[in-house]
Structure 1
């Protein structure tokens, strides 16, 4: 089986990860995506190398440099070397005997998919909340039955969804293993698991989802989503 990752982490999010400015929950999602995506590992390596060069070339002054200025300098440096856009993903060999859950996620959950104890969400869906040390994000593993939709919702903040098994569609876009979707307050959507297999995803949010269905909103505090 060959893995082709098509949907990647944004430059801004990857830079925050590289500089240690992400809370633990977001970092879990980014690190797990990086374990599956050699293209983003290459981007991270390039950012770290470029950042080191910028640091060495920067004269020490009394003027404080803002994060925005640092990011602008980083993008200018990357543009000069033709590396601003996301590079094409390289196929990754993924033998069937490899774990479904890569590190570091597997250690957070204490095992691979077949070792886990799922909690029912209703309508055949399941989840596993993942404890972290930060109070900014909520992290959970989701299992959506093949061919079934997630209730339509918008967002009170940012949401990262990383596919680990199976796939889902969001409109005309398909997200498969290794793909990551980044959503914010501007997006209202209803992802649907593809009919060939259950979809297992890692989801990270920083605010409760805003569901369209009244019934889902009523049970939302109990489910903690």
Structure 2
């Protein structure tokens, strides 16, 4: 049973890994174009393993924001993994160290794929979905750094839209499996509006941070819906 759930996660993760691989090529090429060394770009993908945080880091550094604000932007964006990890925590097994180790498998696509509703997560599906994504992300980065396709080629191939398209697919999959879509839809609308408005005045990295406000509003909007659902179940 656990093996079947793990393999099911790998099947889901294969599609996410393919998108992540292409996205990672873009990251590696952009990082190299901005003067990053191969070791720095690949090391970032090995250690951070977060497209949103790594692209925010690139954008902040490219905008001459300095190393401190760039790292701060990446940390703030990756801060979303804290509530995600807390949510998945009860579905993990073992002591604190073992749970913390298992929690490293929490990434956006895997977290959504493993979500069963009602605050429950399939940890084996989570592990399977992540285990194929990490090597694809690192390999894509290495290919982007070594091959270093030009920004013109990246745009012609449409690689520059993979990043937003990836998260759009994650959002659509989450909406498809939810009974209540009010929270996610509101979060997406507010996030998109905030990012579009901020891009007129601030660099892309800061606009991306502003877009996270949508997640907070969406979370507040979803709490009443989840409470209503849980009350209905109890009745």
Bin of the TM-score, shorter chain as denominator length: under 0.3
Q: TM-score, normalised by structure 1?
A: 0.26
Q: TM-score, normalised by structure 2?
A: 0.26
> Which one has a larger percent strand, Structure 1 or Structure 2?
1
| RCO comparison, higher one (Cα < 8 Å, 6+) | 2
